[in-house]
Amino acid sequence: MSSYIIGTCGHIDHGKTSIIKAINGFEGDTLKEEKERGITIDLSFSNISQGDKNIAFIDVPGHEKLVKNMISGAFGFDSVMIVISAAEGIKPQTVEHLEILKLLGVKDAVLVISKKDLLSEEELNSKIVEIQAFVAKYQFNIQAIIPVSIYDEVSIENLKEKLFSLELKNREEENFFRLYIDRVFSIKGQGSIITGTVLGKEITKKDKLFICDINKACKIKNMQVHAQDVEVAKISNRVALNLTNVDAKALKRGFLLSKKGYLRGFKKIDISFNTLGEYLLQHNKNYTIYIGSKHLEAKVTLFGSIESLDEGFATIKADKEIFSIYGEKLIIREGNKTIAGATILNPISDPLRKSQKLQLLNALEEKDFPSAYVILLEAHKKGLGLVSSAQRFALSHEEALQKAKLLENCFIDEKELIIYPLTTQKIIIDFIQAIYEKNSYALLSISSLKLRLPWASDSFIETSLQHLLNTGLLIKENNLYRSANTKEDLSTVLEERILKRLQDEDIAPTAPYNIYDNLDLDRKSGDNILKALCSKKEVVRVEHNLFIHALSLSKIIAEMKNIIKEDEYIDIKNFKERYPLSRKYLIAYLDYLDKFSEIKKEDGKRYFTTA
């Protein structure tokens, strides 16, 4: 079934809610206050199906003080019914709503001339011409102009047919699912339910979700689209999700749900804006920012002026993190005035200089992603993850990779999806070279270098090692890299070095990994050497991470037996008095004593069995 969202817009009392009711019988104004005052206060959601088409209606309030609620519905419209009363014509919120829809990028529209019963046919026709001329200025794609009266069933039927025959497009698919919560409630025995419009990509019931604003993962217990249980909800579906692992009280309208791993939040994001009419955006001033169904207070700083501008780039600085994506629209208001609309260019804060930032914003505005990569790479010398392209550029991994491949002077790790500037390779090469110059017995692998260069991908390290093989500085044996200048048999040398080291450290040897790292030795090779020393009985493994020189062990065991002779027993206390080692060693050696048949253990003390 295809599903589209058609919203309403227009001045208060022009008949929006009545028209929806006439179409599908849905009583929108159900809040107590709505009934008392006879106006729509909050959004209301209803739907109607015909054949394999479903239309979800989002009805919005027309009151000038409630434009904030209108925006939190309008960002999700695929199309809009512009409702203008034939009797009243264009009024202030007709204009404001049209402006907001334009700023939000809603294009497809049906122009509904309401309350036609109040005019003669002649008056009506001239009113339609007038209204049409006015609305034309906003350049909507007006698919039909339909005069209606709720008292004229034929006109309502006509509108309904028209709505079902519209050639509607869903919003463009993005790379991942997003949903701004617009209602939250809890049902006894079921838990938290939220509703919203599916954006970005479809969602399946088994998907793991992430509530960005409270940094919380949750799962879907049940999912409904228009009161039907479903396994999948598609783009533009109005969906109700019964969530597990989260209390309804912790959720609010405006919170963003997504899948884990796609979005990062930032307190600063960059936008490109245009103001409405005569308004100007002031530098360093606080405004209310509307994104999706969320609104927040934030400071706006301008690029290119320390006073005010009617268009340009700006940075939004908020107290809380904003989870947004490239190309997302937002509305900037001051009190009850809509000042400007904007498009998010840079949803991620990078450590960029102002001149670099300006270049980046220019590139992003032009959708020139390769140039954007080049600028970003200057700030991400240790690698720019392509996975972030979904948020950064609204590109899939594949598209991002394709664009990245066009770049010069870059190293692209296609497996780990990271790009590095080629200049970074020198950092890696110099780093490796320095190790082998200082220690001609160094024997490292890619994975052992990765431990020291955690930001570098395996294949970037490998390419750098290859360079050192090519220059003749290193030799590769199996997966290990050794210096070309040492002629000795490395395994003998390393065995001797490890043994010497254990000998020196005597009864307080360091853990194997520390020894290997100190000797610039690959950990797996180190383990093999240590194993060989153990089978030759030159080294003994006392416990998991404690390897000791065999002579040192014999010595300490003899000393322990002496203590028993002197004190009749040994325990941690009298042992520590003679050998102030750390407990780790003392306990290990005491436990080791239990291997001897002449030793027995009672209440944490060891005695001779023959005593």
Residues that bind Mg ion (CB under 5 A): 16-17, 40
Q: Which x/- pattern over 215-244 shows residues binding ligand GDP (rule: CB under 6 A)? A: ------------------------------
Q: Which does 117 bind (CB under 5 to 8 A by kind): Mg ion, ligand GDP, none?
A: ligand GDP
CB 4, min distance to ligand GDP, A: 21
**115 makes contact with ligand GDP (CB under 6 A):** yes
Stretches 112-120, 134-142, 261-269, 524-532: which one binds ligand GDP (CB under 6 A)? 112-120
CA-only gyration radius of the chain, Å: 35
CB 101, min distance to ligand GDP, A: 16
Among 4, 14, 140, 235, binds ligand GDP (CB under 6 A): 14
**73 makes contact with ligand GDP (CB under 6 A):** no
**358 makes contact with ligand GDP (CB under 6 A):** no
CB 149, min distance to ligand GDP, A: 4
Task: Indicate the SS3 state at residue 508.
Answer: coil
CA–CA separation, 439 and 433 (whole Å): 10
Q: Within 10 A of 229 (CB to CB), how many other CB atoms are there?
A: 10
Nearer to ligand GDP, 86 or 179 (CB): 86
CB 112, min distance to ligand GDP, A: 10
Nearer to ligand GDP, 82 or 199 (CB): 82
**17 makes contact with ligand GDP (CB under 6 A):** yes
CA–CA separation, 421 and 460 (whole Å): 11
Stretches 148-156, 196-204, 221-229, 298-306: which one binds ligand GDP (CB under 6 A)? 148-156
β-bridge pairing 53-59 and 2-9? parallel
CB 39, min distance to ligand GDP, A: 6
Nearer to ligand GDP, 40 or 552 (CB): 40
CA–CA separation, 262 and 250 (whole Å): 22
CB 115, min distance to ligand GDP, A: 4
CB 180, min distance to ligand GDP, A: 23
Among 15, 196, 265, 526, binds ligand GDP (CB under 6 A): 15
First to last CA, the chain: 88
CA–CA separation, 348 and 324 (whole Å): 8
Report which of 342, 344, 361 is spatially closest to residue 353, judged by C-alpha positions: 361
Task: Indicate the SS3 state at residue 470.
Answer: helix
CB 26, min distance to ligand GDP, A: 12
Q: Which does 114 bind (CB under 5 to 8 A by kind): Mg ion, ligand GDP, none?
A: ligand GDP
CA–CA separation, 99 and 107 (whole Å): 11
Cβ atoms of residues 479 and 446 within 8 Å: yes
CB 97, min distance to ligand GDP, A: 11
Cβ atoms of residues 264 and 320 within 8 Å: no
Q: Within 10 A of 276 (CB to CB), how many other CB atoms are there?
A: 19
Q: Which does 118 bind (CB under 5 to 8 A by kind): Mg ion, ligand GDP, none?
A: ligand GDP
Nearer to Mg ion, 15 or 421 (CB): 15
**62 makes contact with ligand GDP (CB under 6 A):** yes
Residue type at position 145: I
CB 30, min distance to Mg ion, A: 11
User: What letters, b where the CB count within 10 A reaches 16 and e where it falls short, cover 22-54?
Assistant: bbeebebbeeeebeeeebbbbbbbbbbeeeebb
**12 makes contact with ligand GDP (CB under 6 A):** yes
**90 makes contact with ligand GDP (CB under 6 A):** no
CA–CA separation, 300 and 332 (whole Å): 10
User: What letters, b where the CB count within 10 A reaches 16 and e where it falls short, cover 385-394?
Assistant: ebebbbbbbb
**Which element (helix H / strand E) includes 329?**
strand 329-334
Using H for helix, E for strand and C for coil, what is the string for 275-320? Answer: ECCCCCEECCEEEEEEECCEEEEEEEEECCCCCEECEEEEEEEEEE
Q: Which does 115 bind (CB under 5 to 8 A by kind): Mg ion, ligand GDP, none?
A: ligand GDP
CB 72, min distance to ligand GDP, A: 17
CA–CA separation, 241 and 458 (whole Å): 41
**416 makes contact with ligand GDP (CB under 6 A):** no
**118 makes contact with ligand GDP (CB under 6 A):** yes
Q: How far is CA 431 from the centre of its chain?
A: 33
The residue with its CB nearest to Mg ion is 40
**265 makes contact with ligand GDP (CB under 6 A):** no
**606 makes contact with ligand GDP (CB under 6 A):** no
Stretches 16-24, 204-212, 430-438, 465-473: which one binds ligand GDP (CB under 6 A)? 16-24
Nearer to ligand GDP, 117 or 207 (CB): 117
User: What letters, b where the CB count within 10 A reaches 16 and e where it falls short, cover 68-97?
Assistant: bbbbbbbbbbbbbbbbbbbbbebbebbbbb
CB 40, min distance to Mg ion, A: 3
- Cα torsion for 533, 536, 538, 539, to the nearest 10°? 50
Nearer to ligand GDP, 60 or 494 (CB): 60
Among 54, 79, 94, 114, binds ligand GDP (CB under 6 A): 114
**149 makes contact with ligand GDP (CB under 6 A):** yes
**7 makes contact with ligand GDP (CB under 6 A):** no
CB 287, min distance to ligand GDP, A: 27
Q: H-type helices in 506-582, by residue range?
A: 512-518, 523-535, 550-567, 572-578
CB 167, min distance to Mg ion, A: 27
**150 makes contact with ligand GDP (CB under 6 A):** yes
Question: How many residues make contact with ligand GDP (CB under 6 A)?
Answer: 18
Nearer to Mg ion, 110 or 465 (CB): 110
φ/ψ (deg, to 5) at 297 = -85, 140
Nearer to Mg ion, 17 or 338 (CB): 17
Report which of 83, 88, 104, 92 is spatially closest to residue 159, judged by C-alpha positions: 83
27-46 residues near ligand GDP, rule: CB under 6 A:
39-40
Count CA within 13 A, CB hemisphere, residue 488. Answer: 11
Nearer to ligand GDP, 36 or 489 (CB): 36
* Contact footprint for ligand GDP (CB under 6 A): 10, 12-18, 39-40, 62, 114-115, 117-118, 149-151
